[in-house]
Amino acid sequence: MLKILLLFVLVEYTLQGRHGRQYNRHKGHHNRYKGVPSWSHSNRYRGVPSWSHSNRYRGSKTTQYDSYRPRKPTWPPSTTTTPIVNTTQPGGGDVRLPLNLYPVLYELELQPFIYEINPTDFYFIGKVTIQMECRQSTNEIVLHSNQLNITTSSVRIEPMAPGQNPIIPTIEFDTVNHFLILKTNTQLVSGSNYSVYIEFRGPLLSRLAGFYQSSYQRGNDTIYIASTQMQPTDARKAFPCFDEPAVKARFNVTLIRKKHLISLSNMNQIRSKNLANDWVADQYAVTPLMSTYLLAFVVCDFTFKEKTTANNVLYRAWARPEAIDQTTYSLDVGVRILTFFEEYFATPFPLPKQDMIAVPEFGFGAMENWGLIVYRETSMLYDPLDTAENFKQFVTMVISHELAHMWFGNLVTPSWWDDLWLNEGFANYIAFVGMDFIHKDWLVLDNFVVSSVHNALSFDGLISSHPIYVPVSNTDEIFQIFDSISYEKGGSVIRMMQFFLGDETFQRGLQLYITERAYGVASHDDLWDALGRQSIIDGKPQKVHDVKRIMDTWTLQMNYPTVFMERIGNDIKLSQSRYLRDKNATDPGTYNSSFGYKWEIPFTFTTQTNKDFNQNDADIIWMGKEGTDILLSGVISGNDWFIGNIKQYGFYRVNYPKDNWDKLTDQLKMDHTIIHPVNRAQIINDAWNLAKSGDLGMNTALKTVEYLSMEDSYFPFFAANNELVYVRNMLERTELYGDFSAFMKKTFSIPLSELGYNNTGSGHLEILLRRLVVERACDYGNEDCINNAISSFQNLMQGTGPINPIDVDSRQNVYATAIKYGGVKEWDFVYNRYKTSNVASEKLTSLVALSYSREVWILSRFLQYSLTDDIRRQDGLIAMRLIARNPIGRSLVWDFLRGNWNDITNRFGSASFLIREVTAKFNTEFDLQSIQTFKDSLPNLGNAAAAFDRAIETTRANIKWMDSNFQIIKDWLQNLS
């Protein structure tokens, strides 16, 4: 799933830096998931067990619907349920199911009621028959249910063997762990098979989780749809189930809808039956073995476009009728990338169809439901006349990310959420491999370094980080690890692993892993084993045969190393040490390293005389986890500079003696093109972050950007911009900001004069570079840039035609600049575009621009809108984040967050990303105390606990940075002027 983290990548693409970015507890659980039920061998996965009743659906007729008369049921009285007394605190305790009984097949029927006058009255009813095998004798069945109304009279248990009587259980609920406990007086016998029948009802809320409602406008009419978001633990909100990723079963789904709507689910529809009162029952083919979190269904009035892949998979793109023409690009990309991944993984896509649907309200970027991928509209829709190039790149990335999950996550699933990164880390990186197949000229594999590797290095440099593999035991902990470590660090170390194994061995190892684990579950050790065996088959060096030995140092301990390259005559000595942004930070001891914070490092380097920026696995020098220094004899001569970590394939930083840093910065000024663009970006990123940690002088870091006005590559510019945004954030409330702004104005004005404003005939990367340069130039007060933007905006406001005359890649800057230097008239004009545009990317472009106002009252009104339907629910947190980036808005958002904490967390489920955003600029003792005081005032931090810890650590580091570097930067700016 493209979670909140990567969704905000789109905001970063849009902003380009504007405004200023218990360990062994479950060990025993994993062995029980090593395979699938003994009877469910892969050669018969398409069927169902011989004792299953599901074959009754394969005939031409079924009787279960003939007497069905949909009605609106009433809530049963609360006295029919008997909750247990909870002995654990909310969000605490072990949430694992006992699994004495294991599900085999769900026969699920759902009927959403989205037709009431008041949407708060929307609800759904359902019934499910779960066929299961008893693995250990017991007198209770424990499964998941959350916010569902279930009564004793609506539940029965039937032995599958003939001649036995039904069992009527008593019901208990554990509302903390979401357990539905069915207790029986009759012993359920190991080796026997049972079916559990449950009728239920649930609210169809607008919380964007489980089975939920959303809406869009068509003229003056509000059109409602029902859709799902199950991952990680919300399938239990849609139906009673065994809601753990390893508990795979088959699903036979029936959706009941009104005649004027359509329904979709994971599989192809095999039957549709008309019922009374204009209801229709759509029945779907039985799924292969899959996890509950991948089940999906949608009821809506959408239309589609379709294609068929080379391997005869029906591929459809669904959207609102008004937006269906915006699916052409995503449909084409989806078909091509699906076919590419079939070849890359050497495994055919196992379903007969693949749908993609863009829903108006979706809490995340997208969700990889098998056969029915659900997208936020900005993640799927593309209109070449109204969608900027950065959005096109984002749409391509999201589609590729979700399709990668069809193999990593869906076909082979992690045993438990502690290996979430096997899903998200792989999809994060392999998405770029898929993109590269579609758009070679975009150089996305280089872009991965500045967009993912650098983000992960920043996040993982904190003492409040965590290992990639981290045990989780409750829903709050599960939610917290959907973060930069699982996604971006996970993807970064996978890229590193591909490098040291070699592309072909890496690919064949993945194919072996998928073939052996298809339709089952796996852990990271299973992956290491497959890759290691493949490296032996391919005759790779013995060092990489033990992939586990290498990768455990990267996945089982947090943080990463800095490699120091020291020149001794013609030799270079290599040593490693743990990188921490704040070396004085107190380690809470949550995660202890068994490797002493030493790593197995695949090191590469090049020198000025023997430049080689195209190295491969044969060029690697291995630095061991023992931490022993390595001496490279006779590798450098004369007065050469040297660079480590070629193309930044390794997840580590590189530091040098000052004289080598000086040679590198001199080279950048003399002829930066001698160094590969990725390593230019790396030099900037490493220098600035080593300066933050005190491992390098700030004067050296500053020198790495003095050449920037001559840079012509997007990647170093992107990396430098990110670091300079940090300086801006630190200085914007100080007397030094004016001098810094003048330097930035000059730095960006030179490339602006060369690039201009016209994108006609430009390639992808040139468009992205021009956009970044123009926006920075306007931000820092370039008069020509500002006047150009305001003039373009006035022409737009005065125009009467439907066509927007502003170049699509300039709109973000034009709207934002006009609002920044305008008033309420300009703000209201853009807000109206946000409300009425039929193009999702135009809506987000407008939303970003709205945060640029310098009027306190307008920003305050915008904040109030974010908690109401004046801003779409899915955009509310984004709006708050954006306002927090505004120098004027930061304190407003901090006050708003503290004053409306319950409303924010109730509406959005989490405020973690907002905490991170609003505190990113905090750099005083007063700021630090305000975070701590607010944290201490909250009775239950829930899934925001880690965000508060990071905010406190980051603020302390910012304070230290200001104390150490303010005078240095002041002197540097004065010397430049």
Binding-site annotation: residue ranges for Zn(2+): 401, 405, 424
Spot the catalytic one: 109, 389, 402, 826: 402
Alpha-carbon span 803 to 783, nearest angstrom = 27
N-term to C-term CA, the chain:
49
Alpha-carbon span 879 to 217, nearest angstrom = 20
Q: Answer yes or no: are the C-beta atoms of 832 and 34 closer than 8 Å.
A: no
In sequence order, what are the residues at sequence separation of 6 or more whose Cβ sits closer than 8 angstroms to the Cβ of residue 958?
730, 921, 922, 923
Q: Which helix (H) or strand (E) holds 457?
A: helix 454-459
Alpha-carbon span 314 to 308, nearest angstrom = 5
Catalytic residue status for 783 = no
Amino acid at 800: T
Alpha-carbon span 707 to 720, nearest angstrom = 11
Alpha-carbon span 448 to 495, nearest angstrom = 10
Q: Answer yes or no: are the C-beta atoms of 697 and 735 closer than 8 Å.
A: no
Q: Which helix (H) or strand (E) holds 865?
A: helix 856-866
Question: Strand 250-258 and strand 279-284: pairing?
Answer: antiparallel
Q: Which residues define the annotated binding site?
A: 401, 405, 424
Q: Answer yes or no: are the C-beta atoms of 379 and 413 closer than 8 Å.
A: no
Q: Answer yes or no: are the C-beta atoms of 577 and 546 closer than 8 Å.
A: no
What does R_g of the chain's alpha carbons equal in angstroms?
29
Tell me what percent of the chain is helix, strand and coil, each rounded to the nearest 5. 45, 20, 35
Alpha-carbon span 603 to 621, nearest angstrom = 5
Looking at the DSSP assignment, which residues form a beta bridge with residue 193?
133
Helices then strands (H, E): number in the chain? 29, 30
User: Token digits for 98?
Assistant: 């006992």
Alpha-carbon span 581 to 841, nearest angstrom = 36
Burial class (CB in 10 A: 0-12, 13-18, 19+), 303: middle
User: Token digits for 220?
Assistant: 């003056």
In sequence order, what are the residues at sequence separation of 6 or more whose Cβ sits closer than 8 angstroms to the Cβ of residue 824?
855, 858
Alpha-carbon span 366 to 376, nearest angstrom = 6
Alpha-carbon span 14 to 394, nearest angstrom = 10
Cα atoms found within 13 Å of the Cα of residue 14, Cβ hemisphere only? 29
In sequence order, what are the residues at sequence separation of 6 or more whose Cβ sits closer than 8 angstroms to the Cβ of residue 760?
none
In sequence order, what are the residues at sequence separation of 6 or more whose Cβ sits closer than 8 angstroms to the Cβ of residue 635?
570, 571, 572, 605, 607
Closest Cα partner for 641 from 656, 625, 620, 619?
656
Kindly compute the dihedral angle of the four CA atoms of residues 39, 41, 43, 49, in this order, to the nearest 10 degrees.
Answer: 30
Q: Answer yes or no: are the C-beta atoms of 301 and 114 closer than 8 Å.
A: no
Question: What are the DSSP calls for 604-646, one per residue?
Answer: -EEESTT------GGG-EEE-TT---EEETT---TT--EEESG
Closest Cα partner for 400 from 379, 377, 372?
379
Kindly compute the dihedral angle of the four CA atoms of residues 411, 412, 418, 420, in this order, to the nearest 10 degrees.
Answer: -50
Show which residues are catalytic: 402
